Amino acid sequence: MTRTMELDAVIIGSGAGGGTVAERLAPLAEAGARIAVLEEGHHFPLAYFTQREVEMMGLFRYGGGWPIKDGSITLAAGRGLGGSTLVYTGVTFRLPDAVCEKWGVPGLTPKDLAPRFERLEKDLSVIVPGDDMVNDNNRLFAEACETLGWEVKKIPLNLSGCEQEGFCNLGCATGAKQGAMAVQLPRAQKAGVVLVPNCRVEKIGRGKVSAKVSEPPPGTVPGPWEPGEVEISAKRIVCAAGSPATPGLLLAAGLEKELPALGRYFTLHPAMTLYGVMPHPIKNYQGFPKTYYTPRFSQTHHFYLETAFYYPFVSTKHLGLWGEDLARIMTRYANFMTVIALNHDPASEKNRIRLSRKGEVIMDYTIAKESVESLAHAQVAATRLFIAAGCREMVMPMAKKPVFTPADAGDKSLEEFISPKRFLPIKTPLSSAHPQGGCRMGAGPEDSVTDPWGKVHGREDLYVADASLFPQSSAVNPYLTVMALADRVGQKLVESADSWG
């Protein structure tokens, strides 16, 4: 039997956006408002995080390989209380002022965002990592950038008491990584906000949410609601299910007619993980996996190069090799230097979230020619970096010979040797962990879905507070911007609480 329930506010999703809104609404909960966070994923206790790659696949939607429509890019998205902040690395960048201005959202200014960033950074214990946290991969990266004359910077990270176990993307076993589950959700819960794991929202309507609660799997913490169907009446609904799930929920609610921009301008920072092979084993599995990046190519070629560390199974996917080449290179896994190139992809109306006939979310995205060119250039840059660091072999999927030595490449002809012409959709490994857009903020319903405060145009009951609000890509790792935008949404909700009815 379907249960019914009346609440003041429902927040769908508990990640960077949902967690931040929940904390912002804490004073209302303390004053007696009935507020719940509904999360499809499970409540994972620290003991769950064994740091074994295959065992941790349940932290991700589709085991970390959620494919876009044509299968050419796979998306990693967290699924659990804490959302993607459970599995993120904690790289903390503010939205660059120039990107904020380019977004052109009325009232969304660097001046508005600065104090929010400052407060969030304090709450999330953001630090610039000390040299004691720099492992071999990161040290080699920084030294090679210096040799090449490239600007190299430390990455700000959100950590408290990090033991440098190194497997941050498989969930933090010591709880040192700061995110929604470590910071915002416990504060909200303390104030009376109810956290409901294993609760998938199936549909939203006007002031209504239909959800299904399932049994908690072994090893996870049970939630407060019994399994079964639930119909909730709520004065305010905040969609924070992330992109592409939030645009999917709004499409399923039939809002496309009134809001032609719904689902559109989807971006995802297409990424390539690139490998160089050192002549000897290096330590990348311990220490913090990401402490350096170079912004050298951000303005000119629209990508960031950051250090990275990935596990054996996912590395085999990133390498894009087969058969003997793959087997031989993987025997050198302990010698791998690893970097990730993140492209700032252009926002196109044609790249959109749609629903299949069965109502499943489809990411209909075609990588832009500029993005392919940018990623080809990133491979040229990574090759130079690996050679400067002393690597004997490189693996570059767009190279004439995907596994090659410095002699094969010959410095002068690198741009010819690694070419966008060799990009083959599906065969060239591309991934993403930064889905954005689909419910872009803006001035009016002609070309945006919400107002600058996340309120869906033409609706009083419905808000969006997650990465789907981004009008274009953030160009930097996005979580802090998601939280700052969700903070604005929470502020608006609190300010308007008297009119909820």
Ligand X SMILES: Cc1cc2nc3c(=O)[nH]c(=O)nc-3n(C[C@H](O)[C@H](O)[C@H](O)COP(=O)(O)OP(=O)(O)OC[C@H]3O[C@@H](n4cnc5c(N)ncnc54)[C@H](O)[C@@H]3O)c2cc1C
Interface residues toward ligand X, by CB under 6 A: 12-18, 38-41, 76-80, 83-85, 87-91, 169, 200-201, 240-242, 245, 433-434, 466-467, 477-479, 482
Strands 208-213 and 352-355: unpaired
Q: Which of 271, 292, 293 is nearest to 341 (CA)?
A: 271
Three-state DSSP state, 126: strand
Distance CA 304, CA 322 (A): 27
Q: Which is nearer to ligand X, 12 or 183 (CB)?
A: 12
Q: Which of 180, 249, 240 is nearest to 208 (CA)?
A: 249
Q: Which is nearer to ligand X, 253 or 396 (CB)?
A: 253
Q: Nearest distance from residue 497's CB to ligand X, in Å?
A: 22
Q: Which is nearer to ligand X, 383 or 474 (CB)?
A: 474
**Which H or E element spans position 304?**
strand 303-307
Q: Which is nearer to ligand X, 13 or 129 (CB)?
A: 13
Q: Which is nearer to ligand X, 402 or 437 (CB)?
A: 437
DSSP string, 210-270: EEEE-PPPTTS---SS-SEEEEEEEEEEEE-S-TTHHHHHHHHTT-TTT-TTTT-S-B---
Q: Which of 478, 491, 483 is nearest to 96 (CA)?
A: 478
Q: Which is nearer to ligand X, 40 or 256 (CB)?
A: 40
Task: Compute the Cα dihedral for 450, 455, 457, 462 and give only its sign.
Answer: positive
Q: Nearest distance from residue 267's CB to ligand X, in Å?
A: 12
Contacting residues for 169 by C-beta, under 8 A, at least 6 apart: 76, 87, 88, 89, 289, 310, 311
Q: Which is nearer to ligand X, 169 or 294 (CB)?
A: 169
Contacting residues for 211 by C-beta, under 8 A, at least 6 apart: 38, 199, 200, 201, 202, 229, 230, 232
Q: Which is nearer to ligand X, 17 or 223 (CB)?
A: 17
Neighbours of 200 (CB within 10 A): 15
Q: Which is nearer to ligand X, 240 or 337 (CB)?
A: 240
Query: What angle do helix axes 479-495 and 16-24 make, rounded to 10 degrees?
Result: 30
CA–CA–CA angle 188, 224, 359 (5° rounding): 90
Integer angstrom CA distances of residue 447 from 259, 278, 458: 8, 50, 14
Distance CA 368, CA 345 (A): 7
Contacting residues for 270 by C-beta, under 8 A, at least 6 apart: 73, 343, 345, 367, 371, 375, 430, 431, 432
Q: Which is nearer to ligand X, 445 or 478 (CB)?
A: 478
Task: Tell me which residue has its CB nearest to ligand X.
Answer: 15
Distance CA 51, CA 182 (A): 18
